[in-house]
């Protein structure tokens, strides 16, 4: 494996962790928005979401920073064109991030009407942000970002595939969050809430599954290169994902209590890595390869070293945080 490939792997790992942790975070926001209609149970759901998210949301989102930074440091020749072409959905995602994070924090300070409104903004922004991020990823997949960055500002992402990926980001995040929160509800000793999130997870799984099928067709027509990769070298991972997803769904329907979290996350991870394998050696499919995008070799080495330090320092700290959070040591 060449040095740029190693760093691309690091980038992909960051993206995976963001998809899992950040995704669950967004999904929890979507669930909070949906729960508005569910009366007393809904407000219990929101309280649960709030308690689960409060200590970890900021850390969950540092993965995004990590990806941006690795992208522009290690692959400046991909970062520039990406930003130049897809500035519209990227700006929208940035606005979503601001609204989401600050509304969530404000929800803790205020009470009454202001609190409710903060929660609503938080929920809406939890839909907008992953949607536009999905559009960005979909547009990249469709090969809409040329090497010189002079892509179309609108038609690059206002197309079936990017929009489908956007919706898929929202729904799969929601599904993942419901599976995770289901566990939290069980641990918190609330069987009714456990069943509530189980229903949400099943619903999410159904929608995300149907969209994925549609996605396969969209890929076939709009991103042939990626489609070939996914059905070629990426196929084992896609099958693994399908299997895990099916197992989760069966488990949900049967009311299995434990062990679904890693499977649900695993299904997502397998798709992301299948995708990575499929688009290799491109970073921006069919336009910019990993090697062509890569920055100076000394910088790539530096990024690898920084990453090792991050593993040693941040890894244990993150585990510590999640442990404390699970043990309900952290509270408002």
Partner 1 sequence: MIVDVAFALPLAADNLLAARETMAFTLGFHIVLACIGVALPALMLIAEYRGRKYDDADALNLARRWSKAAAVLFAVGAVTGTVLSFEMGLLWPKFMEQWGDVFGTGFAIEGIFFFTEAIFIAIYIYGWNRLEGWKHFWTGVPIVIAGIGGAFSVVAVNSWMNQPEGFTLAADGSVTNVAPIDALLNNATAYEFPHMLLAAYMVTGFGLASIYAVGWLKGRRDRRHRLGFIIPFAVAAIATPVQLYVGDVAARGVADHQPAKFAGFECVQETGPNQTEWIGGICTDDGVEYGIGIPGLNSILVGFSTDTVVTGLNDIAPDERPPANTMLHLAFDGMVGIGSALLLLAGWFGWSMWRRREPPASVWFWRGAAVAGVGSVLAMWMGWIVTEVGRQPWIVQGLMRTEDAVTDAEGLWFVFGGAVLLYTALGVIAYKAVRVLSARDDELAGIPYGPPGPEPEIESVEAER
Contact positions toward partner 1, by CB under 8 A? Answer: 54-56, 58-59, 61-62, 64-66, 68-70, 72-74, 76-77, 79-84, 87, 90-91, 93-95, 97-98, 100-102, 104-106, 108-114, 149-150, 153, 295-296, 298-299, 302-303, 306, 309-310, 313-314, 317-318, 320-321, 324, 328-332
**Which of 102, 120 has the CB closer to ligand HEM?**
102
Q: What is the closest distance, in whole angstroms, from the C-beta atom of residue 146 to ligand HEM in the complex?
A: 24
- Stretch of 6-14, 56-64, 83-91, 167-175 contacting ligand HEM, by CB under 6 A: 56-64
Q: Which is nearer to partner 1, 98 or 250 (CB)?
A: 98
Total of chain residues touching ligand HEM, rule CB under 6 A: 4
H or E stretch at 282: strand 282-284
Sequence-ordered list of residues with C-beta below 8 angstroms from that of 76, at least 6 positions apart, any chain: 293, 295
Q: Which two tokens stand for residue 68?
A: 């941006």
Q: How many CB atoms lie within 10 A of CB 141?
A: 25
Which does residue 207 bind out of ligand HEM, partner 1, none, counting CB within 5 to 8 angstroms by kind?
none
Rule CB under 6 A: say whether 61 interacts with ligand HEM: yes
- Which of the ranges 29-37, 45-53, 59-67, 138-146 carries the binding residues for ligand HEM, by CB under 6 A? 59-67
By beta carbon distance, the residue nearest ligand HEM is 65
Closest CB to ligand HEM among residues 65, 312:
65
Distances, alpha carbon 189 to alpha carbons 42, 185, 327, in Å = 16, 6, 13
Q: Residue 104 or 175: which CB sits closer to partner 1?
A: 104
DSSP label at 36?
G
- State which residue, 104 or 194, has the beta carbon closest to ligand HEM: 104
Q: Which tokens sit at 150? A: 């002079």
DSSP H stretches of helix in 188-296: 191-222, 224-231, 235-254, 260-279, 290-293
Q: If you search the block for the tokens 């920073």, which residue do you land on? A: 65
Run of H or E residues at 288: strand 288-289
Each residue 64-83 as x (binds ligand HEM by CB under 6 A) or -, in order, gives -x------------------
Chosen from partner 1, ligand HEM, none, partner binding at 110 (C-beta under 5 to 8 Å by type)? partner 1
Q: How far apart are the first and last CA of the chain?
A: 47
Angle at 113 between CA 178 and CA 174, to 5 degrees: 15
Interaction of residue 182 with ligand HEM, rule CB under 6 A: no
Pairing label, strands 288-289, 282-284: antiparallel
Distance CA 125, CA 35 (A): 15
Out of 47, 62, 158, 202, name the contact with ligand HEM by CB under 6 A.
62
- Which residues form the interface with ligand HEM (CB under 6 A)? 58, 61-62, 65
């Amino acid at each position: 494996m060449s040095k740029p490939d190693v760093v691309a792997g690091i980038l992909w790992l960051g993206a995976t962790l963001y998809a899992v942790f950040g995704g669950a975070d967004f999904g929890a926001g979507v669930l909070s928005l949906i729960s508005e209609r569910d009366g007393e149970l809904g407000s219990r759901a929101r309280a649960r979401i709030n308690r689960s998210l409060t200590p970890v949301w900021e850390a969950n989102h540092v993965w995004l920073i990590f990806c941006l930074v690795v992208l522009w440091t290690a692959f400046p020749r991909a970062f520039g064109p990406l930003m130049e072409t897809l500035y519209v959905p990227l700006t929208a995602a940035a606005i979503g991030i601001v609204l989401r994070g600050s509304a969530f924090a404000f929800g803790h300070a205020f009470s009454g009407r202001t609190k409710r409104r903060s929660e609503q903004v938080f929920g809406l922004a939890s839909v907008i942000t992953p949607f536009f991020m999905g559009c960005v990823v979909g547009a990249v997949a469709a090969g809409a970002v040329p090497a010189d960055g002079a892509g179309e500002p609108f038609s690059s992402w206002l197309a079936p595939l990017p929009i489908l990926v956007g919706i898929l980001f929202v729904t799969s995040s929601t599904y993942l969050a419901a599976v995770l929160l289901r566990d939290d509800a069980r641990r918190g000793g609330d069987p009714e809430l456990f069943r509530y999130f189980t229903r949400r997870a099943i619903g999410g799984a159904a929608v995300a599954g149907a969209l994925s099928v549609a996605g396969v067709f969209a890929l076939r027509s709009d991103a042939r290169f990626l489609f070939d990769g996914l059905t070629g070298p990426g196929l084992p991972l896609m099958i693994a994902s399908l299997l895990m997803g099916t197992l989760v769904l069966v488990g949900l329907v049967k009311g299995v209590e434990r062990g679904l979290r890693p499977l649900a996350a695993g299904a997502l991870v397998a798709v992301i890595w299948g995708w990575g394998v499929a688009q290799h050696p491109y970073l921006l499919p069919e336009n910019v390869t990993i090697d062509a995008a890569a920055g100076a070799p000394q910088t790539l080495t530096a990024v690898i070293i920084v990453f090792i330090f991050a593993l040693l320092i941040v890894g244990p700290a993150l585990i510590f945080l999640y442990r404390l959070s699970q043990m309900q040591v952290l509270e408002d």
